[in-house]
Copies of this chain bind each other. A is one copy, B any other.
Amino acid sequence: MSSEPVVSETRVLAIASHVVYGYVGNKMAAFVMQAMGCDVAALNTVQFSTQTQAIHLPSHSRVAACFVSVTDPIPGNHTGYKQFKGTKTSAEEISHLYTGLKQSYLTDFDVMLTGYAPSAEAIDAIGTIARDLKLRASTKAGSFFWVLDPVMGDQGELYVGEDVVAVYRNLLRDADLILPNQFEAELLSEIKITSLTTLQDALATFHKTYRIPHVIITSIQLSNSPSTISVIGSTARADFSPRSFKIDVPAIDCFFSGTGDMFAALTVVRLREAVKGANLSGIKSWISSDDVDAKDLPLAKAAEKVIGSMHAILVKTKEARDQELEGMSGPLGVMEMEEDSEKRLVLRRTKAAEVRVVRCLEDLRSPRTDWKAEALARDEDAEGQEVKKRREQVLEKGEA
């Protein structure tokens, strides 16, 4: 493993949740970015004892479906700590903390990464911070970049109040890159994604209507195979049309929390690295010129590395989890008998699946890039190719 920091000096303001135990929100994102060399200012929007998300149970915490398939080899796929304690940071407190930074001239951030906030007001306060930082950086193109992870829900369930959706829509115009999952992309674009065409329509809406330069939809099921999921990305062309790519990744049969936050943090680092390599650091919103193909975009190159890191770490986490759960198959101890054993099992399973990011520094820093970006076709194109192929087959048969 190289001992050098992965990125050049990078100052990030990360605004997201904090949990005492486990790895979601800023607890995940700050460590990932720091381990790769970023100087991270971490403004925590809540302090909770644990993450609280359970599959199918709407709740506060970000649990990206990325790299997850929802079948679980262990009977009963519910996970999550269910009970949690803690406090939310109010919109006013968030604004005050930022005022504290301003008073000490600590506003020279290169990147801002925002994730979960507990109310529409808090999200609005975060938007105000983003606009202020953008304004301060406006004299120097490319010197500030906002990565917005619009944490609202997953798999058709909202974690947040319905008023949050409109607040996020209002912020989109100021973001440089958004990282919705499929459900969030649908909420924001108001387009139900059921095909390549509707997917491209959603991307076009983000680029054209909301003027967002870069989009990654962190997880989407495109093929019929449940063993493959796709990451979709696009950087707008000069005419705001999508320039989209996809990366197919093998799904891992386990439910993890914090993967969305890991994805976002890795993306900050790898995009900054790729943009520097492409000499785009001084270009507004780091947008590649139109002659760059989708699969060669810095966003695509970054996503390949992000996925390489994530896949390796999640595979190791699952291995460790399976080992841990195997060790549980013996007779239950005294405490187990005292308690509802089903509840206890769910908690153990949740704990065992905490992403082992602190044990996987090399996978963060030196990922393999086995999964490559390819240009994303529209349904029409795909169908067109299919028709062409069939016609050729017919011709071949006729000739034979």
Contacts and interface: CB of A to CB of B under 8 A. Distances in A.
A83 interface: yes
Interface string A29-58: 011001101111111100111100000000
A104 B86 contact: no
A362 interface: yes
Interface stretch (A94-102, A216-224, A287-295, A378-386): A94-102
Interface stretch (A61-69, A184-192, A302-310, A344-352): A344-352
A5 interface: yes
A4 to B, nearest CB: 8
A213 to B, nearest CB: 27
A85 B99 contact: yes
Contacts of A351: 104-106
Contacts of A354: 39
Given A18-B44, A21-B41, A21-B104, 4 more contacts: A1-B2, A49-B101, A84-B104, A86-B97
Contacts of A89: 47, 87
Contact of A20 (B20, B41, B83): B41
A105 B47 contact: no
A97 B49 contact: yes
A9 B352 CA distance: 13
A359 interface: yes
Contact of A105 (B42, B44, B106, B347): B347
A20 B361 contact: no
Number of copies: 2
Most chain-B Cβ atoms within 10 A of its Cβ — which of A38, A85, A350, A362? Answer: A85
A352 to B, nearest CB: 12
A60 to B, nearest CB: 13
Contacts of A86: 93, 96-97, 100
Is chain A's binding surface mostly helix, strand, loop or mixed? mixed
A225 interface: no
A89 B103 CA distance: 23
Interface in A322-377: 335, 344, 347-348, 350-351, 354, 358-359, 361-362, 366
Contacts of A101: 20-21, 49-50
Nearest to A363: B3
Given A1-B1, A20-B97, A105 B348 contact: yes
Nearest to A354: B39
A81 interface: yes
